[in-house]
Chain A
Amino acid sequence: MKRWYLQPSILLGGSILLLVFAAALLAGVLYPGDPLDMVGAPFVWPGNDAAVPLGTDLMGRDLAAGLLHGARVSLLVGVSSALIALVIGIALGAAAGFYGGRVDAVLTRITEFFQTIPAFLLAIILVAVLQPSIGTIVFALGVTSWTSIARLVRAEFLSLREREFVKASIALGASDAHLIFREILPNAWTPVIVSTALLVANAILSEAGLSFLGLGDPNVVSWGSMIGLGRDALRTAWYMTAIPGVAIVLTVLGLNLLSDALHAALNPRLRRARQA
């Protein structure tokens, strides 16, 4: 088998993500002004004016500037809300899997309850009521997307707790904190890392959905809000909707490819299946 980091999916996914990172970093250099400013005539199709290579929207804003600044919002929201979800999910999953019994029963009920409420609907409610801003969006997406991580970590803890190295540690009188953080958690990272890429991808999709519905931060340009605005001109100028959409698809695709590649590289069971 080829070295894991040389697989096409990881190379493709990695380069797409590097590109998005570069866009986010260069946004301030290439387009130092406010991307919400009007820079030219509205409804300029891409490729018709060298000053605005991707055209302008129906308010005369530069689509390329919006795209680059939007990359910042997507990455910021994606990564920070994934971190919140990770902290909640790992804490609850680890507690449920490690202590078992009544703690597990209560935490599992809570997780199941959150799974019966559509996460996106809950996120909409939270953002609508707390007033849309980057902060409230990050919070809302974080607190609604931890359930899969919690289940995953719980399952890992349940199986790892019974392993001999943990039993040995218990026999040596290790504290719960030592067992959780030093013995079990380091061995549970692999599936968590794989799902983290998916968490970020889902958060980016959800942020775009919120902004599209008019629940984005009104002070920043995001890919979702660009699509929402472009929708008004869908019949005549569909490029306004298509361009930011392609940016979302590529970014999410990059994360999904990366997650797949990590999954394939880090999961020994799958590696064996492939060689067979």
Chain B
Amino acid sequence: MTKRVLRRLLQLLGVVLSTAVLNFALLKALPGDLVDVIASESGSVTADYVAQLRQMYGLDRNAFEQLLSYLGRIAQGDLGFSFRFGEPVLGLVLDRLGPTLALVGTALSLSVLVGVLLGIAAARRPHGALDTVISALATLGYSAPMFWTALMLIVLFGVQLNWLPIGGLRDVSAGHAGLRLWLDYAHHLVLPALTLAIYYVAVYARLSRASMIETLAEDYIRTARAKGAGEARVIFVHALSNAVLPVLTMLGLQSSALLGGSIVVETVFGWPGLGQLSFEAIKSRDIPLLLAVLLLSGVLVVLTNLLVDLLQGQLDPRVRARLAIGGQVQAADAAEAA
């Protein structure tokens, strides 16, 4: 157990390091640095000024030296300075981490809960009426682009019904404090979280339906039924822990996709999270900021995967054994193929 966590943390370090190096290389390979952007934004600049800016940002040194100094600074917890926002990157990123985690966390918990329940309901009678309805809705939810779902929810709940706020983190002009402020946050969270959740409920419903159908066909389920276990007991005690394993695997695999999805959702709803920040950073070629967002999302993905592995080990002793020999990739592939 401890050994596995340690191994994973070492792996985390490796991923962070290679993320840093490769992000850096990638961004260096792209034409146009931030000095070009500053220069083109300010209209007329002299060549002297450009050279001075390059020196100030350390862009006059060769790429290798820049990389080394970048890694050195990361090691000291210094992620650089965002010229777009005129602030240290670390503070900016940490400020935006909270709203993104709130959004993604809410959407994810909702999706897993509702998705797995729907999947179980559908799997009880494959190709029955309930299954047909749930499967059709899931396929539909899985097919709609998230930004479009967002806009349609805005039209319905924001404009026509006027029930929910359609943008921002809170109603600043109302000047709420304490509990009222938290309720206001929650009120603003509903639509963006719902948008993400609609897509992922569909994903998890499909996945858990497939895996539940397979699990319910297993011999040990027949044994449980033969011994007179009630239907609820068969599903929630005997089948569930095995049936949710692929869902968990998917959760780990999709954590980076979820962060990607939050870019669109955050942009539509003006939700001040990492997604919106990274889009801002791209638009303004704010390389230090972009590097920091990529680094942070890498860390989040690896940590999610670590969590998923641990949960899987708790749920399934076979996985625990497989993990010990480093075969978690096969387990993930099996789940993906299912």
Please indicate whether A and B come from the same complex rather than being unrelated chains: yes
Task: Check A273 against B283 for contact (C-beta < 8 Å).
Answer: no
What mask results when residues 1 to 26 of chain A are scored 1 for a CB within 8 Å of chain B, else 0? Answer: 00000000000000000000000000
The residue on A at minimum CB distance from B126 is A274
Given A152-B336, A234-B155, A116:B297 Cβ within 8 A: yes
Determine if B154 and A234 form an interchain contact, defined as CB atoms under 8 angstroms apart: yes
The residues of B that contact A213 with a CB separation of less than 8 Å are 263-264, 267, 279
Contact A129 B32 (CB under 8 A): yes
Min CB distance, B323 to chain A, in Å?
A: 15
Which listed residue, A116, A155, A205, touches B145 by the CB 8 Å rule?
Answer: A205
Please tell me if the beta carbons of A124 and B279 are within 8 angstroms of each other in the complex.
yes
CB distance from B198 to the nearest CB of A (A): 12
- Choose, from A36-44, A54-62, A83-91, A237-245, the stretch at the interface: A237-245
Q: Does A252 contact B (CB under 8 A)?
A: yes
CB closest chain-B residue, reference A205 = B145
Tell me whether B325 is interfacial, beta carbon within 8 Å: no
Q: If A119-B257, A212-B147, A248-B148 touch, does A253 touch B139 (CB 8 Å cutoff)?
A: yes
Interface presence of B332 (CB below 8 A): yes
| B72 interface contact, C-beta 8 A | no
A148-182 vs B, CB cutoff 8 Å, 1 = contact: the mask equals: 10011011001000000000000000000000000
Question: Interface with A: B14-22, B41-49, B105-113, B309-317, which one?
Answer: B14-22
Q: When the two chains form their complex, are residues A249 and B140 in contact, meaning their CB atoms are under 8 A apart?
A: yes
How does the 8 Å CB contact mask read for A185-214 relative to B, with 1 for contact and 0 for none?
000000100000000010001001100110
Q: How far is the CA of A260 from the CA of B133 in the complex (A)?
A: 16
Complex Cα spacing A151 to B22, Å: 21
Q: Are B333 and A117 in contact (CB under 8 A)?
A: no
Contact stretch, chosen from A45-53, A63-71, A107-115: A107-115
Q: Are A151 and B217 in contact (CB under 8 A)?
A: no
Chain B interface size, as a band, is 35 or more
Dominant secondary structure of chain A at its interface with chain B: helix
> What are the residues of chain A within 8 A of B154 when measuring CB–CB?
234
| Interface check B142, CB cutoff 8 A | yes
- By the criterion CB–CB under 8 Å, are A227 and B257 in contact? no
Interface of A toward B, CB cutoff 8 Å: 108-109, 112-113, 115-121, 124-125, 128-130, 148, 151-152, 154-155, 158, 191, 201, 205, 208-209, 212-213, 224, 227, 231, 234-235, 238, 241-242, 245, 248-249, 252-253, 256-257, 260, 273-274, 276
Interface pairs A-B: 6 shortest CB-CB: A118-B260, A120-B260, A155-B333, A245-B148, A252-B143, A253-B143
Assuming A121-B263, A212-B264, what are 15 further A-B pairs, CB within 8 angstroms?
A108-B329, A113-B19, A118-B260, A118-B263, A155-B337, A212-B145, A213-B263, A224-B145, A227-B148, A235-B159, A248-B148, A252-B144, A252-B145, A253-B143, A256-B143
Which residues of B come within 8 Å of A, CB atoms?
Answer: 15, 18-19, 22-23, 26-27, 30-32, 126-127, 139-140, 142-148, 151-152, 154-155, 159, 213-214, 217, 253, 256-257, 259-261, 263-264, 267, 278-279, 282-283, 290, 293-294, 297-298, 301-302, 329-330, 332-334, 336-337
